[in-house]
Amino acid sequence: MKVKLLRYTEDAELLCGTAALTSTKRGSPSQFFEEMDSEKAKRIIRRVTGYGHTSVIEHACFTFSIEGVSRAMTHQLIRHRIASYTQQSQRYVTYNTLENYVTPPSIRDNKEAKKLFDETLAKISEVYQKLLRMNIPKEDARFILPNAAKTNIIVTMNARELRHFFNLRCCMRAQWEIREVAIEMLRQVKKVAPALFENAGPSCVELGYCPEGKMKPPECNIEEIKKRFRNL
Ligand SMILES: Cc1cc2nc3c(=O)[nH]c(=O)nc-3n(C[C@H](O)[C@H](O)[C@H](O)COP(=O)(O)OP(=O)(O)OC[C@H]3O[C@@H](n4cnc5c(N)ncnc54)[C@H](O)[C@@H]3O)c2cc1C
Domains of the chain and any CATH numbers: 2-85+151-230 (3.30.1360.170), 91-148 (no CATH)
pLDDT (0 to 100) of residue 83: 98
Cα dihedral across residues 120, 123, 129, 132: positive or negative: negative
pLDDT (0 to 100) of residue 94: 87
Ligand 1 atom nearest to 168, measured from its CA: 53
Distance CA 45, CA 54 (A): 9
Ligand 1 atom nearest to 173, measured from its CA: 1
pLDDT (0 to 100) of residue 56: 96
Extract the residue ranges of the chain whose pLDDT is less than 50: none
Asked if residues 60 and 36 have their Cβ atoms less than 8 Å apart, the reply is no
pLDDT (0 to 100) of residue 97: 65
Å from CA of 64 to ligand 1 middle: 20
| Cα-to-chain-centroid distance, residue 105 | 20
Å from CA of 80 to ligand 1 middle: 6
pLDDT (0 to 100) of residue 178: 98
Residue 3 φ then ψ, to 5°: -125, 125
pLDDT (0 to 100) of residue 176: 98
